[in-house]
Amino acid sequence: MKPSTEKEDPQKNSSSVKNETEKKTMRPELAEMIKRHSFGLDENRPEAVAKRKQKNQKTARANVEDFCDKESFIEYGALAIAAQRGRRSEEDLISKTPADGLIAGIGSVNGSLFRAEKARCMVMAYDYTVLAGTQGFFNHKKMDRLLKLAHEQLLPVVLFAEGGGGRPGDVDAIGVMTAGLDLSTFAGFAGLSGRVPLIGIVSGPCFAGNAALLGCCDVIIATKNSNIGMGGPVMIEGGGLGIFKPEEIGPIDVQSQNGVVDIEAADDAEAVAAAKKYLSYFQGTTPVWEAADQRRLRDLIPENSKRAYNVRTVIKALADTDSFLELRPKFGPGIITGFIRVEGRPFGLIANNCLHMAGAIEAEGADKAARLMQICEAHGLPILSLCDTPGFMVGPEIEKRAQVRHVCRMFVIGSHLTVPYFTVVLRRGYGLGAMAMARGGFHESFFTAAWPTGEFGAMGIEGAIKAGFKKELAAIEDPVQREKLYEELVAQLYKRGKAVNMASYLEIDSVIDPADTRKWIIQGLKSVSAVKPGKTCHSFIDPW
């Protein structure tokens, strides 16, 4: 035999010897514990992992590892198995139902940016590879245990909610419960609303009990392959409503358009990244930030006041670079909501979108804005409102959508806010809609400032002239002279409603250089009194 010419690695050799020695000397109870834990690891479940890969999905464990900082996650209840000892062997249950289908514990998230106490987070992930992610007797018990901790320690909760509802096959629970309607899981989870951030993530099917928990979350992040419904195929068929495939129930295009899904993600990795970014706004100020040249803002509003523009361009230029996270972009498109940072500080954002109905406020957009206000109020985030609206949308058709009730949520919730609220009028500030954007009135915000492009009125100027001077205009028979008077009156009202004139009457606080907007926001934030924790007016966040 030819002798090896490779040099031996003393450290590697020493490590091998040490491992062999440990195996030989390991106490049996320790070896048993290590073996039991190993059944739930992805490397020991190749078939389950392969099925996930075929669907372009990660396993529940892989998602938890991606979400939490490296080696920070400690798992509770890892040795649980399904309550089915009466119908299956214990060996089979240990192998096929690790953690009873719910991976749960505590880890840190974004720990490189925030202090340890801010980075801590509770994670609960239903494992679809275990009995289709159904809610079993012991994973309910595990969740109840962790929800109690979340209440006591005020831990943010992230829920990976893929899976179905109750699990009828848990025969061990027979004799302990009948219908299981006295469970405290749902009340315990919903009771965290307004106390801590609740983030729901879905990849794949999410029905019944899983969907009930998901719907309680502050934000829902879903991948393109998601299907979300309060009832899945089994419940629908059981109710005599027909036979449907999971893919036919609540697909992503439906749930994004109707407002159920806040953030749409391409895949699991993108969903996890969005969740980490969302959570970061409630963890504090980032120490490092960048921003665009603020002089760009001077030219983003068209000189022609009738021309539309993309307010998202304004938001991204105003905010710290890459800090804008939008919620529900396909629902209520007349108002844009989300989160930004200014000099690293987190803010909730509300902005009118003049590319949709000229920025007029509709029922759906008002709901979206009102809910953003609730999230910020509950968790102490200041709010920045970028106003450019002709007012509330009007007309017989809009009233069929319960406009009166929906838009007035902005007034009621806005009037009860205790967090700092700053209003910047980019262009139009007309009527009740503009007042709603400013927390109920221009003197209700901590400051209401306008860019030089600002224009104001109790209603749209052209409409105001036609209504207010109807008799005078009708009295002029010559159409040329009538049009001349109309144009003169419009010009007078535009001049009267210019931002600088509004400021001279003290109806707004100032007209500012757009390039100084960030300066105003930060100085305003430094000037407001701190709100004491627990003193917010709204104790929970409306699911809608």
Residues 6 or more apart whose CB falls under 8 angstroms from that of 484 comprise: none
Vertex 50 angle, CA 47 and 53, to 5°: 155
> Mean pLDDT, to the nearest integer, of 475-487?
83
pLDDT in tens, 70-108: 999 999 999 999 989 999 999 999 999 999 999 999 999
> Mean pLDDT, to the nearest integer, of 132-149?
94
Q: Does residue 208 lie within any of the structural domains? A: yes
Asked if residue 168 and residue 131 are part of one domain, the reply reads yes
Q: Does residue 540 lie within any of the structural domains? A: no
Residue 539's pLDDT is 78
Residues 6 or more apart whose CB falls under 8 angstroms from that of 12 comprise: none
Q: What percent of the chain has pLDDT over 70?
A: 94
Q: Given a cut of 50, is residue 47 above it in pLDDT?
A: yes
Asked if residue 183 and residue 112 are part of one domain, the reply reads yes
Asked if residue 313 and residue 179 are part of one domain, the reply reads no
Which residues face 163 on adjacent strands? Answer: 206
Give the global pTM. 0.91
Asked if residue 505 and residue 374 are part of one domain, the reply reads yes
Q: Among 254, 280, 306, where does a domain finish?
A: 280
Task: At 319, give phi and psi (nearest 5°).
Answer: -80, 165
Higher confidence at residue 484 or residue 41?
Answer: 41
Q: Does residue 30 lie within any of the structural domains? A: no
> Mean pLDDT, to the nearest integer, of 522-544?
75
Q: Among 220, 250, 280, where does a domain finish?
A: 280
pLDDT in tens, 322-347: 999 999 999 999 999 999 999 999 99
Identify the band that residue 45 occupies on the pLDDT scale cut at 50, 70 and 90.
very high
Higher confidence at residue 296 or residue 11?
Answer: 296
Asked if residue 383 and residue 473 are part of one domain, the reply reads no
Residue 1's pLDDT is 44
Asked if residue 211 and residue 319 are part of one domain, the reply reads no
Q: Does residue 162 lie within any of the structural domains? A: yes
AA letter at 448: T
Q: Does residue 522 lie within any of the structural domains? A: yes
Identify the band that residue 177 occupies on the pLDDT scale cut at 50, 70 and 90.
confident
Number of domains in the chain: 3
pLDDT in tens, 356-366: 999 999 999 99
Q: Does residue 421 lie within any of the structural domains? A: yes
Residue 43's pLDDT is 94
Residues 6 or more apart whose CB falls under 8 angstroms from that of 290 comprise: 320, 321
Q: Can you tell me the distance from the alpha carbon of 372 to that of 381, in angstroms, rounded to the nearest whole number?
A: 10
Residue 478: give the domain boundaries: 461-497
Asked if residue 304 and residue 172 are part of one domain, the reply reads no
CA–CA distances in Å: residue 194 to residues 156, 217, 367, 377, 538: 11, 10, 17, 9, 8
Q: Does residue 218 lie within any of the structural domains? A: yes
pLDDT in tens, 198-224: 999 999 999 999 999 999 999 999 999
| Collapsed DSSP state (helix, strand, coil) of residue 145 | helix
Asked if residue 190 and residue 168 are part of one domain, the reply reads yes
Q: Given a cut of 90, is residue 444 above it in pLDDT?
A: yes
Residue 27's pLDDT is 92
Average pLDDT, the chain: 91
The CATH number of the domain where 425 resides is what?
3.90.226.10
DSSP state of 165: S
Asked if residue 396 and residue 334 are part of one domain, the reply reads yes
**Paired tokens of 17:** 């010897």
